[in-house]
Structure 1
Amino acid sequence: MTNTTIGKTTFKGIVCGSRHLTHDEFQHDVKRAASMFSKMGVGEGACVGIFMRNDIHFMTANHAANYVGAYAVLINWHLAGEELTYILNDSEARVLVIHADLYRAVKDAIPASVSCLLVETHEGIRKPFGLTVDQCAVPEGQADWQCLLESEHPLQSPPVQGPSSMLFTSGTTGHPKGVRRIPLNADGAASMRDFRTRVYGCGPGARCTVPGPLYHSAPNGYAMQASKISDLLVIVPKFDSETFLALIEEYRLTGAIMVPIMFIRLLKLPAEVRNKFDLSSLEFIIHAAAPCPADVKRRMIEWFGPVINEFYGSTESSAVSACNSEQALAKPGSVGKTVPEADIRILDEEGNSLPAGVIGEIYSRFPLMDFTYNRKPEARAAMERDGYITSGDMGYLDEEGFLFIADRIKDMVISGGVNIYPAEIEAVLHNYPGIKDCVIFGIPDEEFGESLMAVVEAQDNIELDTDHIKSYLREHLAGFKVPRRIEIGRDLPREDSGKIFKRKLRDQYWQQAGRKI
């Protein structure tokens, strides 16, 4: 690894904590890992599982799998043993690259057919997650990734063209489904590089950071490109607001891929903290994955400058719309216009196209990034209409072609026959003084079928009054959109991206009622 005293504002390569690899050093490791995979029988069409936190070794394994023509199966490291077993069996993964501390928790769930390569959990990961040194060491007798890597010679054959990462959907309605991309030829790969450069901002010359989990589709696609063609990629094991600002200044970063909760946490920092960092290097922040309240977007643009961009899409569809800062200010709440590579339709339940301004289900088509579900072609067919697919989001296009998201079908609450979209209410709640975070969902109601419930989390040392919160909501929303029940939550369950795990909160109420809808 390169000496960390190198000038950080000019360093080019891959960074994670105190570890710095030049691009040549990184590619050397990728080819050594590719050689290791090849000797283990991993070739074209095979699968390599990755069960890791954000780390340089994650990227090495990801690129190395693709180098030999295999799919890198990215697995959410929060998953319980049974869920991990299912994904490894469904993908027929031959190899699993896994952090040592995570291996200790799930080793009994790993099928005997899967060869494990254990990665020592580095100090830069250990400290933010509160792990012990013993937890992070590779157990004696287990295959040590780093030792094996250092003993390998780089693979001399050229990389196989086509494969990419395989991600599994969340599985909220049954077992998760693996999204297997149709391999691209050389021209298709070049088109995707150009697309990501334009829409994500991680092209040649960029200095990028990924503070979100690499097992998610957008951060992974961003990091895979940035680690290949951008000047710098800084991998962040765990997002911290002040540390993130310090990294921008320290490495003169030009871009990042983020989610709205990160914006909200940045804006909660005291003014004296926010103002002490030089952020003038920033050129292109891209965000996605969740609705961003219009006021949060406006405040971020005022602070960071007109560098805030957004895209809308899904694991299956890729990015099908994009919105820059100017458009966001002109069309508050919009996720932008359809990108040239895609097409979007708003359809009713019968599959008819709906006029501008009318909410329906969002269907999209992105031919360059086509896919099938691993071993489940019937699942792909079930979500498709005339070649267009849906991820279950509701929304509308306005007269000028700007897309607005109402909510997900599964998150929509039907109370007394009225459709209510929680995302709209959450956007208002985020502006309430003293609220750190919030979530809205439907709970069983004998009279109305289901009614709205809000769980809000207070900022430190702030006392919230639920009656006053209701009064505030009535000033900004129709009465039927004001939750009947508001609770103050603490230590709420969260996904790795920082978002509140809505399903875990919601499910407990429906289990008590003995029904799901």
Structure 2
Amino acid sequence: MSTSESATNPAPPHYLDAHALMQPQAIALICGERTLTYAEFNARSRRVANALLGLGVQPNDRVAVMAHNSIELLEVATGLAKLGAMPVLLNYRLREHEVAYIVNDCGASVVIAGPDLVEVVEKARAEVTGQVTYICIGDTLPAGWLRYEDLLPTASKEMPASSGGLGSAISYTSGTTGKPKGAYRPRGIEPQDIIPVIQEFGLAPQDVHLLAGPYYHSAPSAFTNIYLLLGSTIVIMPKYDPVEALRLIDRHKVTTTFMAPTLLQRLVDVDADVFARYDVSSLRAIILGGAPCPYVLKERAIERFGEHLWEFYGATETAFVTILRPEDQLRKHGSCGKAGPGQEIRLLDAAGNEVPDGTPGEMWSRFSSLAQYYNKPEATARSMKDGFFSVGDIAYRDAEGYYYICDRKIDMIISGGANIYPAEIEAVLAAHPAVVDAAVIGVPDKLWGETVKAVVQLRPGASATTEELITFCGEQLADYKKPRSVDFVAELPRNPAGKLLKTQVRAPYWKGTGRSI
């Protein structure tokens, strides 16, 4: 878009433009020794938007991005929001087959990869269909790739066509049938959608937020985007390390962070003498989500950081369904909190009737901006009922209005905050020549919450070792999905219709834990 066109057809303002005008020298991003002011961040974000526009990216087009947390990753995400295009944030632990499937499924026209992820994306190219442009954030360029930094100097820093909101990203999650689904919000997210969330958590422009978890995950990206909307400072961790997190909290006087319980566990496990070297008194909110947080971990975290824990329950599709405040963390053991701002919740039995307090039912929630599954209307329809969305969790409500997740309707493992669907792993195991039947389950783990276990029945006369089967899975699946252990059995329990009885498979491993998920 030329300058004259921009003047005659002004695009709606983007929040970065406002901050660049109102507080140009305020620090927006810190990563290592690099800092970007809001003026610098906005200018580079505009250049990214116009560079992608020059490559043919239009509103609602998909751009796949596979990178560790970095300044460039946030430049791309905000640049795409300015265009009204959709970033497809890829888990950087995916293998090439998984990357290719997602790129093909979403119809991405551009793929952008971080320097240490070019190799896996280059391998995926052989399976990618359609015309795709590849961009590398770094200097290692395979044939046919473009270099990210080479695109920016010649790109305009004028305002591109803009959506004006926070943009809509597509987040892929594996499915119960083994095929990943892309969750997105067709109308994006508008500031008015999240103002009540900002008020509930007490988020403020003067906060300094630590991006500790991977930005591709919906929760870390949500809090990062909210804080950019507020004009706060984001301290970026490319990869999580608990001692480095303490150092950054001390150095930059971090006030808030989001963590999956696994990251918090590693933080409180830091030796006391090492922990004591750092001043963490600035930290006023540790927001937890992605997986249940054990009571003992909460106790230890409160001992070290004070009563600053928040916890929420939600999903990529549903946002902040419930929120548990700091004063309730120990008082309401096992609860995921009360209904979040703007959320309507129903607990329904199998017949679709609401259940009374104390009785488990499937949790359905309604919010102003629910997600859909990209190009999968049937999957969306299965999860949607009368405007309410369900991801298959079973919960009950107590007399005070607090909710408790007690079971899952769908077959899913949550390990370190990552959703893992056994069907995907079982399909890989079934392809091994020595395997006649396999069940994949989650088993209790102190650090990860659950880890992946395969229970395998071998073909008569066949043999396979634990290491062989784990390696076989690792060749086709992201590392976090492959089994951590394998048990061999003579036969797996199935009913007369042939349905695998997962409850019976899981029972021995969860006996005596006092929980089932």
Structure of higher RCO (CA pairs closer than 8 Å, 6+ residues apart): 2
> 1: CA distance between counterparts of 2:146 and 2:56?
16
Distance apart, 1:505 and its partner CA:
3.9
1:98 corresponds to 2:113: yes
> 1: CA distance between counterparts of 2:255 and 2:319?
23
After superposition, what is the alpha-carbon deviation per residue over 1:119-153, rounded to whole angstroms, capped at 9, x for unaligned?
01xxxxxxxxxxxxxxx633466310012112322
What secondary structure sits across from 2:235 in the alignment?
Answer: strand
1:453 is matched with none
1:504 corresponds to 2:515: no
| 8 Å CA contact retained: 1:14, 1:227 | no
User: Can you give the 5+ residue segments of structure 1 that lack an aligned partner in the other structure?
Assistant: 1-9, 121-135, 413-421, 431-435, 447-489
1:169 is matched with 173
> 1: CA distance between counterparts of 2:161 and 2:309?
38
| 8 Å CA contact retained: 1:351, 1:385 | no
1:13 corresponds to 2:16: no
**1:422-441 alignment to 2 at 5 Å?**
426=444, 430=446, 439=450
1:363 is matched with 364
What secondary structure sits across from 1:361 in the alignment?
Answer: strand
Distance apart, 1:100 and its partner CA:
3.0
User: Can you give the 5+ residue segments of structure 2 that lack an aligned partner in the other structure?
Assistant: 1-24, 414-440, 458-469, 495-499, 503-517
> 1: CA distance between counterparts of 2:322 and 2:493?
39
| 8 Å CA contact retained: 1:301, 1:325 | no
Alpha carbons of structure 1 residues 75 and 202: separation in structure 2 relative to 1, 3 Å = farther
Alpha carbons of structure 1 residues 441 and 51: separation in structure 2 relative to 1, 3 Å = closer
What secondary structure sits across from 1:73 in the alignment?
Answer: strand
2:394 is matched with 394
1:29 is matched with 44
| 8 Å CA contact retained: 1:394, 1:405 | yes
Alpha carbons of structure 1 residues 289 and 46: separation in structure 2 relative to 1, 3 Å = same
Alpha carbons of structure 1 residues 63 and 196: separation in structure 2 relative to 1, 3 Å = farther
Alpha carbons of structure 1 residues 91 and 513: separation in structure 2 relative to 1, 3 Å = same
> 2: CA distance between counterparts of 1:333 and 1:33?
45
What secondary structure sits across from 2:337 in the alignment?
Answer: strand
Alpha carbons of structure 1 residues 198 and 170: separation in structure 2 relative to 1, 3 Å = farther
**Aligned partner of 1:115: which letter?**
T
After superposition, what is the alpha-carbon deviation per residue over 1:298-339, rounded to whole angstroms, capped at 9, x for unaligned?
221232122211111001011111111101122112111001
1:296 is matched with 297
> 2: CA distance between counterparts of 1:364 and 1:406?
16
Distance apart, 1:508 and its partner CA:
7.6
2:187 is matched with 183
> 2: CA distance between counterparts of 1:437 and 1:77?
19
> 2: CA distance between counterparts of 1:225 and 1:117?
27
Alpha carbons of structure 1 residues 438 and 214: separation in structure 2 relative to 1, 3 Å = closer
| 8 Å CA contact retained: 2:46, 2:158 | yes
| 8 Å CA contact retained: 1:13, 1:227 | yes
1:150 is matched with 153
| 8 Å CA contact retained: 1:13, 1:233 | yes
| 8 Å CA contact retained: 1:100, 1:139 | no
Alpha carbons of structure 1 residues 276 and 179: separation in structure 2 relative to 1, 3 Å = same
**Aligned partner of 1:189: which letter?**
E
> 2: CA distance between counterparts of 1:394 and 1:509?
30
Alpha carbons of structure 1 residues 200 and 179: separation in structure 2 relative to 1, 3 Å = farther
1:138 corresponds to 2:141: yes
1:309 is matched with 310
What secondary structure sits across from 1:43 in the alignment?
Answer: coil
| 8 Å CA contact retained: 2:197, 2:341 | no
| 8 Å CA contact retained: 2:210, 2:258 | yes
CA RMSD of aligned residues (A): 3.2
1:378 is matched with 378
Match of 2:136 among 114, 118, 127: 118
> 1: CA distance between counterparts of 2:270 and 2:214?
22
| 8 Å CA contact retained: 2:212, 2:239 | yes
> 1: CA distance between counterparts of 2:482 and 2:452?
9
> 2: CA distance between counterparts of 1:445 and 1:232?
49
**Aligned partner of 1:351: which letter?**
G
Distance apart, 1:85 and its partner CA:
1.5
TM-score normalised to the size of structure 1? Answer: 0.75
> 1: CA distance between counterparts of 2:114 and 2:352?
46
> 2: CA distance between counterparts of 1:264 and 1:175?
31
TM-score normalised to the size of structure 2? Answer: 0.75
What secondary structure sits across from 2:116 in the alignment?
Answer: helix
| 8 Å CA contact retained: 1:202, 1:222 | no
> 1: CA distance between counterparts of 2:268 and 2:109?
44
> 2: CA distance between counterparts of 1:89 and 1:48?
11
| 8 Å CA contact retained: 1:202, 1:230 | no
1:47 is matched with 62
Distance apart, 1:443 and its partner CA:
6.5
Distance apart, 1:359 and its partner CA:
2.2
Alpha carbons of structure 1 residues 361 and 441: separation in structure 2 relative to 1, 3 Å = farther
> 1: CA distance between counterparts of 2:140 and 2:259?
31
What secondary structure sits across from 1:335 in the alignment?
Answer: coil
After superposition, what is the alpha-carbon deviation per residue over 1:139-195, rounded to whole angstroms, capped at 9, x for unaligned?
4663100121123221334522353111111234221111120215xxx72223413
> 2: CA distance between counterparts of 1:400 and 1:142?
57
> 1: CA distance between counterparts of 2:489 and 2:218?
30
> 1: CA distance between counterparts of 2:109 and 2:456?
48
Alpha carbons of structure 1 residues 67 and 289: separation in structure 2 relative to 1, 3 Å = same
After superposition, what is the alpha-carbon deviation per residue over 1:1-30, rounded to whole angstroms, capped at 9, x for unaligned?
xxxxxxxxx972201122211111111100
Distance apart, 1:513 and its partner CA:
5.3
1:133 is matched with none
Distance apart, 1:440 and its partner CA:
6.2
> 2: CA distance between counterparts of 1:191 and 1:507?
48
> 2: CA distance between counterparts of 1:440 and 1:92?
33
Alpha carbons of structure 1 residues 293 and 502: separation in structure 2 relative to 1, 3 Å = farther
> 2: CA distance between counterparts of 1:13 and 1:438?
34
Alpha carbons of structure 1 residues 62 and 440: separation in structure 2 relative to 1, 3 Å = closer
**Aligned partner of 2:395: which letter?**
G
